[in-house]
Structure 1
Amino acid sequence: MTLPPPRDVARWLWTWRQIILLGILTCGAYGLVLYGFGIIAGPIQEDEGWSSAAVNAAFMGSYLLGAAASLVSGRVLDALGPRPVLWTGLIVGTVFLMAASYSENIWLFIVFWTIGGAVTIAGLFYNVTMPIAARLFPKRQTAAMTVLVTTGGFSSVIFMPLTGLFTDEFGWRWAVRILLVVAAAISLPAVLSVRRLPPIPPPEPSSAPAIGSQAGRHGFGGVQEALRSREVQIMLAMVIASSFGLGAMLNHFVPASTAAGMSITAAGALTGLRGLLSIPGRALIGPMASLLGLRPALGVGYAVILLGTLALLAAGPIYWIYLSAIIAGLVWGQTMPLQGLIASDVFGLRRLGTLMALQTAMGNVALAIGPFAAGVLLGLVDDNYQPVLVAIAGVNALTLALLLLMVRTHRQPLKQLAASLLASRTAPQKRKSGAP
């Protein structure tokens, strides 16, 4: 295997420097708020004597409030650009999360963590960095998203072991403080680098949509106009179903695996393997999208996720659990970026930040409700995971069905475009043949 010349590597790094920095920023943002919290939740309960429900209320609160705050950050991103959004997410999020690490009262901890996590989610998560990447490289969005999410995919691989190490050595409070400093330090270059976005070229009055969506490349004029689009409605329903199933499986994979006979140590190791496998999975986004197209590539991902759920449902032999974890790792990391690319296609660029924020808000609410709903169902069936996994598989199948429906809806503008082009070409010939 021949390595590329250093000059080509340097040119590639320079071309994608802003996207790489945005990926590093995203890596730091997700590191503590999403992945690290699952590590420190247990030590918080043990050290402070707070209940599991109270501690996890801070996590759920941050996601629910973050969903609402994302609607604001999306509008600000479209109107004022990335700087106010990124600076607010970095400074305000860090200050409130730092305050949570000093809280001796459970209610103060919940309030500070909820606000800090919500501002971080609204200002630094993919709902912000994906639209920025799409605006920076409007003609190379697939490549930009691949670089972004592959870089950001190292978040769980880096921050989960770091969180465990710092918590064991210094306790959960100092672990949070150290990780906040690390996250802020690696996020700052992106905040300083991405100052403004290139203007969106106005649509040409005589041209049809370039990408076949109902919006065209320029995009919808407003949120209400977008929400009247059938394609947008199906897209949002698909993201809600996908996030619901993802949240349920993420939180219940380990207990479902132990219920099938696997030790909790092995199940935890599989969770780490799943995070590691997401990195090569994300790197395959570009080749899959080029080979199959965006929607077929996402359809393959949804179908494989359904297969992974069925594999866990069939678990008696332990290898079914391993198969489920491997499938999840390779595919789950692809679905959100592909959803983002399709969203850019469907929404257009003009209101992409606002509409992507709306999509993310709906997805985050579903992501938070999914584990709770699965837990309620588990209690109703006497802690039997078989019906729960059947329900999750049903949600996976619904997600795939909604994608197929969206593909069918997406083809209608293409058919209309083809008909109009055919009519415009045949009209002059008819006039010419009918002339005296």
Structure 2
Amino acid sequence: MTAGQAKFFYGWIVVGAAFVGTFFAFGIAYSFGPFFPAIETAFQASRSDVALVSAIAGCLLFSLGAASGPLADRLGPAAVASTGMILIACGLLAASRATELWHVYLAYGLGVGVGTGCIYIPAISAVQRWFVRRRGLASGLAVMGIGAGTLVTPPVANWLIELQGWRGAMTTLALAVAAIGGLAMLALRHSPEKRGLNPDGGPPPDPAAPAGPAATLREALGAGEFWLLGAAGMFISFSLFVPLVHMVPYVLDHGMDEATGAWLLGVIGVSSIAGRFLVGVVADRLGRLKTLIGVYIGLAVMLAFWHFAREVWTLALFAAVFGTLYGGFAPLMPAIVADVFGVRHLGSILGVNYSGAGLGVLLGPTMAGLLFDLTGGYGLAIAVAVAGMLAGAVCLAVTAARRRE
């Protein structure tokens, strides 16, 4: 029996490590909601000022893929991602000792943002290399960590805040990230070929089969599809992070408590886990691009519905459907980029392509906080988020049309 035909394929270890990485990275990044009211009170800050903390982290989360992707291609994903976990832990520890809001910008914004940016692209691009035939399943399992982290971390953070205060909660989370997440990242490996294996754990590919795409970063930058997909990522991030960041203050405005807001974020998280499978089944039948266009349109409809959701049951319905659709985006976009440009230079291509998403995350929550401060409500901010989601759907539709040419 050859190495490439071993009974247990190491690619699934890579998937498991990527799951842990996305669990901690996005769990921490998306758990800022429970900290929002405490930080707003502690520093007597406006909502737009506090929202900027999460916006900075989200911007760096995606935009730093332009640096972490090429670094992972050169140094290996384990070195880059484990460094990211340490940076997240250090950022949380430093933020827990902040005495001014700008300290939180630097500590949480930079620490969590840079740390997560060092994890996502290296981990997800590694998974794409280990699988071809089962890439959709492997990607879905890997990014399930995002949903699981969003499900678990906000309620845990809220519980820790009640138990220890917001500073103690950040310290406890930092220790968990360093101890568990840092070790798990060491299991990531760049590609099966470097371990004497083949993608999917199968036999070597047929040399007579036509070669797939293998674009370099320079070649990808010259393709219209690259910029359209990047714009689509920017628009969805702009709109997606509005409810993720502002859900807790939104429910407080409507007479509910912080625990309800944290629970609703958990509903989004658990629904997104289901969405990775449900949307994946649809994508196998309809195609990835068509399915992703439908996801964008569905998210736009649910954002509009959010504006009219004023009770727990309507907010829970919004969170469940929104989370399911959002869950479909995470595995589809990297797989589409891999389909279009190949996996040889995927870390670099995916990292640069996701830079637009970083800009969207920076602008979306900040815009919502600013419009709230100006108007006293979230109505206009939600309308802008709906428009952003529809703009992303248009970018994907143009991409699909170009692919058919």
TM-score computed with the length of structure 1 as normaliser: 0.78
1:331 maps to 2:325: yes
* Residues matched between the structures, number: 389
1:192 to 174, 186, 189: 186
1:174 aligns with 168
- Residues 172 and 254 of structure 1: CA distance in aligned 2, closer, same or farther (over 3 Å): closer
- Could you tell me how far 1:364 is from its partner in structure 2? 1.9
CA distance in 2, matches of 1:151, 1:113: 21
Matched residues in 2 for 1:163 and 1:98: separation?
Answer: 14
Following superposition of structure 1 onto structure 2, how do residues 375-390 of structure 1 map, counting pairs within 5 Å? 375-377=369-371, 382-383=375-376, 385-390=378-383
Match of 2:36 among 27, 38, 41: 41
Aligned to 2:96: 101
- The secondary structure found in structure 1 opposite 2:344 is coil
Q: Does 1:19 align with 2:11?
A: no
Distance 1:157 1:253 in 2: 14
Q: How does 1:59-208 map to 2 (within 5 A)?
A: 59-124=54-119, 126-199=120-193
> Which residue among 226, 229, 233 is the counterpart of 1:239?
233
What displacement does 1:283 show?
Answer: 2.7
Aligned equivalent of 2:244? 250
Q: 1:165 to 1:317 in 2, by over 3 A?
A: closer
- Show the counterpart of 2:403: 410
C-alpha change, 1:42 and 1:313, in structure 2 (3 Å) is: closer
Quick one: which of 339, 347, 355 aligns to 2:341? 347
Q: Distance in 2 between matches of 1:123 and 1:78?
A: 12
Partner of 2:389: 396
C-alpha change, 1:59 and 1:134, in structure 2 (3 Å) is: same
The 8 Å contact of residues 101 and 173 in structure 1, kept in 2 or not, is answered as: yes
Specify the alignment match of 1:416 in structure 2.
Answer: none
102-111 or 270-279, larger mean C-alpha shift = 102-111
Shift of 1:256: 6.3
Unaligned runs of 5+ in 2: 1-6, 199-204
Q: Is the 8 A contact 1:249 1:392 kept in 2?
A: no
TM-score, scaled relative to structure 2: 0.83
Residue by residue, what CA displacement relative to the aligned partner does 1:337-362 show, whole Å, maximum 9, x if unpaired? 21121111123212211121122221
Q: Is the 8 A contact 1:18 1:190 kept in 2?
A: no
- Distance between the aligned counterparts of 1:173 and 1:384, measured in 2? 29
Which of 256, 265, 276 in structure 2 is aligned with 1:264? 256
**Is contact 1:275-1:329 (8 Å) kept?**
yes
- Cα distance change on mapping 1:97 and 1:254 into 2, 3 Å: closer
Cα offsets for 1:46-87 (capped at 9, x unmatched): 456666665544433333344443321111112222122123
The structure with higher relative contact order (CA 8 Å, sep 6+) is 2
Question: Contact between 2:52 and 2:362, CA under 8 Å: does it hold in 1?
Answer: no
**CA spacing shift, 1:86–1:384, aligned 2, 3 Å:** closer
Give the corresponding residue for 2:4: none
Code of the aligned partner of 2:26 = Y
Root mean square deviation, CA, Å: 3.3
User: Larger C-alpha radius of gyration, 1 or 2?
Assistant: 1
Instruction: Name the CA shift for 1:254/1:169 in 2 (closer, same or farther; >3 Å).
Output: closer
Q: 1:199 to 1:357 in 2, by over 3 A?
A: same
**Percent identity of the aligned residues?**
26
Q: Report the Cα offset of residue 116 of structure 1.
A: 1.4
2:3 equivalent in structure 1 = none
Range 333-342 or range 317-326, more displaced = 317-326
Q: Kindly tell me: are residues 379 and 107 of structure 1, through their superposed partners in 2, closer, same or farther at Cα, counting changes over 3 Å?
A: closer
Structure 1 residues 328-381: Cα deviation after superposition (integer angstroms, max 9, x where no partner) = 02111111221121111123212211121122221021122012234445566x
Q: Report the CA distance between 1:15 and its aligned residue.
A: 6.2
Separation in structure 1 between the aligned mates of residue 26 and residue 328 of structure 2, nearest angstrom = 16
> How far did residue 134 of structure 1 move?
0.5
SS in 1 for 2:30: helix
Per-residue CA deviation, residues 377-426 of structure 1 (Å, 9 max, x unaligned), is 5566x4465444433322222222221111111122xxxxxxxxxxxxxx
CA distance in 1: counterparts of 2:289 and 2:310, whole angstroms:
34
| In 2, Cα distance between equivalents of 1:244 and 1:362 | 10
* Structure-2 change in CA distance of 1:209 and 1:258 (3 Å): farther
